[in-house]
Chains A and B, each alone.
Chain A
Amino acid sequence: MISPIVLPLTAGLLCFLFSHKTFTIALAAALANLLAVCFLTWQLLVFGPMRCHMGGWQPPLGITLRTDGPALLMLLMTAVTGLAITLYARGYFTYRIADPRHASRHQRQQRYFWPLWMLLLAGLNGLFLSNDIFNLYVTLELIGISAASLAALSGKPVSQLASFRYLMVSLLGSLTYLLGVVFLYKSYGVLDLDILQNITTSGPGMRAALALLSVGLLLKTALFPLHFWLPPAHANALAPVSAILSALVVKGSFFLLFRFWFEVFASIVTTPALSFMGALGAIAIFWGAIQAMRQQRLKLMVAYSTVSQLGYLFIAFPLARVDGDAQVWSIVIFMALAHACAKSAMFMAAGTVFLHLGHDRIKDLSGVRASLPITVFAYGIAAVSLMGLPPSGGFIAKWMLLTSSLVSTQWWWALVIITGSLLASIYVFRVMSRFFVIPEGFAFKKPEPLSPLLEWPALALALLSLLLGLVAPWPLYILATGSTFLAQIFPGGLP
């Protein structure tokens, strides 16, 4: 169970040492990570949720790792998206290094990208697997450091500023989270999530702790109004980095937040609090969508689209419990999976367009359809998922949200969701129609032979997000199997 953490960690260190073979090491690590996660999934389906006591130490002293349905689905999401991003990054850097003017700068970027990305992957896997709130702080910091460094990698002045701000916000978030952890420890003296889940009682201390934890994690998940750092950081980073940040990093802190609200602190969470989160999510949807419509640059638009889509995740807060406790996670899991695949595909497509045209001004994007057909396809299919059209994963999430809101007669959320999707289609199709425009006197030449690594991972991820709706029973099955509390205990570190 520790292999998803250890493998990328080792790979990251090896990448630092062997700066010439970085891609091979990284690819091997990504593939091995995927295999390990698949193995864990199989174990989950056969044995049920598991706990692994690190080093043989029992809680409350020792640190445990846990696998259950939601954690495993997030691990799968990270592994699959991570593999696609690894391939894409290889294509991206190869293309950039082939350009003789700035080859040395891109060489340097590549040298540092791979170890940082591997460390980030290790941190993410650790976050999904950890069952100990202080260990979660450490993984949050690891993620924050690697993410900020990755964001700064592009070397542009605006990205340096953005990444510095990102780092400060990330630190503020982690420290607030740590303060919450301290409050929890002061009240109960344990750090293990399982034990905490059983003994939390209501009280001002608990509420303060939950508030602090939430604020810290909300800063990292960029919910309105704490989202200000996200668009500059995501838009000005290198294309593979934007994909990583938007698709994976923000999902990590969200996962933690959801787990705290609905599993650990489930007894003290009140309906007004849930509705408040939902309201913030609704504002985020509208604000992000309106800002996305106003953008002149493609990558900024996609970044604001992330702000908007994250709002959907928070609308699920007041609606997740409608079906009873059994399927609390299902909405957010589908939304997270679909968004991760679609958003990384979209950022990859945007990056390819940027490489091909040399700029990403939206009004000058004409005629791309002829030269980059596969990339435009990938963008279009990813857009379908973002708009929540069937049969994508976004549609399934939207359907579940709508059903929950209408069944529980909180119909105003339905209105928000529908309006949000329509707004999303506006900003998405604004770019799409520019792709299709044929400028005057356009000569239809053959599409430029770009490396397949630049185009196909985006298309594959986009198709995955589209077809997620059709394979929806599988994640639901994993969630159902992984939610019982009969956990197998593995002493020591396995496997």
Chain B
Amino acid sequence: MITTLLYSLTGLILFGMGIFTLFIHSHPLRKILAVNVMSTGVFLILIATAYTPLGQGNIDPVPHAMVLTGIVVSVSVTALALILACRVQETSNLNLLGKKRQGRIPEESSK
């Protein structure tokens, strides 16, 4: 019971930290990392629900499946977000922190 509580609490704290960072910091990379931390937090809580102390019955496999699915989704989404962040940087006259850049933007190459 304590284990579950500890894991769940940690997960919630991670979730909260992620949300905080997502709102406060403006650097896109930070935001993406924040989202990752949030998803890790949720997965942690999920794993915690699957916890059964030794010898008290079978482990519940459903949360494990959910976490696996979630990790896959998280990876693909992170990839997409990173590409979008790069595109944002390439096509705007601002660097990633939103400050004006010196020099020209690279011309749009044909893709």
Residues of B within 8 Å of A186, CB to CB, are: 8, 45, 49
Residues of B within 8 Å of A137, CB to CB, are: 70
Let me know if B71 is at the binding interface, CB within 8 A. no
Given the interface pairs A61-B62, A155-B108, the reply to whether A145 lies near B31 with Cβ below 8 Å is no
What 0/1 readout, one digit per residue, does chain B (64-94) give for beta carbons within 8 Å of chain A?
A: 0010011001001100110011011001110
Residues of B within 8 Å of A108, CB to CB, are: 110-111
Let me know if B22 is at the binding interface, CB within 8 A. yes
Q: Which of B15, B73, B81, B111 is close to A164, meaning CB atoms less than 8 Å apart?
A: B81
In the complex, the answer to whether B77 meets A145 with C-beta atoms within 8 Å is yes
In the complex, the answer to whether A182 meets B46 with C-beta atoms within 8 Å is yes
Q: Closest A-chain residue to B90, C-beta based? A: A160
CB distance from A107 to the nearest CB of B (A): 9
Let me know if A134 is at the binding interface, CB within 8 A. yes
In the complex, the answer to whether B87 meets A167 with C-beta atoms within 8 Å is no
Given the interface pairs A134-B66, A155-B91, A155-B108, the reply to whether A175 lies near B49 with Cβ below 8 Å is no
Q: Closest B-chain residue to A140, C-beta based? A: B73
Q: Closest A-chain residue to B49, C-beta based? A: A186
Q: Closest B-chain residue to A159, C-beta based? A: B91
Given the interface pairs A161-B88, A182-B42, A185-B63, the reply to whether A145 lies near B80 with Cβ below 8 Å is yes
Let me know if A256 is at the binding interface, CB within 8 A. no
Residues of A within 8 Å of B31, CB to CB, are: 168
Residues of A within 8 Å of B8, CB to CB, are: 186
In the complex, the answer to whether A172 meets B35 with C-beta atoms within 8 Å is yes
- Give the interface size bracket for B toward A: 35 or more
In the complex, the answer to whether A191 meets B62 with C-beta atoms within 8 Å is yes
Residues of B within 8 Å of A167, CB to CB, are: 77, 80-81, 84
In the complex, the answer to whether B19 meets A157 with C-beta atoms within 8 Å is no
Q: Which of A145, A148, A172, A185 is close to B19, meaning CB atoms less than 8 Å apart?
A: A172
Residues of B within 8 Å of A148, CB to CB, are: 80, 84
8 A Cβ contacts from A168-215 to B: 168, 171-172, 175, 178-179, 182, 185-186, 189, 191
Q: Closest A-chain residue to B12, C-beta based? A: A179
Q: Closest B-chain residue to A134, C-beta based? A: B66
Q: How far is the CA of A105 from the CA of B91 in the complex (A)?
A: 14
Let me know if A263 is at the binding interface, CB within 8 A. no
Given the interface pairs A168-B22, A172-B35, A175-B39, the reply to whether A160 lies near B92 with Cβ below 8 Å is yes
CB distance from A360 to the nearest CB of B (A): 21
Q: How far is the CA of A161 from the CA of B91 in the complex (A)?
A: 9
CB pairs A–B below 8 angstroms (29 shown): A108-B110, A108-B111, A134-B66, A138-B73, A145-B76, A148-B84, A149-B80, A152-B84, A157-B88, A157-B92, A160-B87, A161-B88, A164-B28, A164-B85, A171-B77, A171-B81, A172-B22, A172-B35, A175-B15, A175-B35, A175-B38, A178-B39, A178-B42, A178-B70, A179-B15, A179-B45, A182-B49, A186-B49, A189-B60
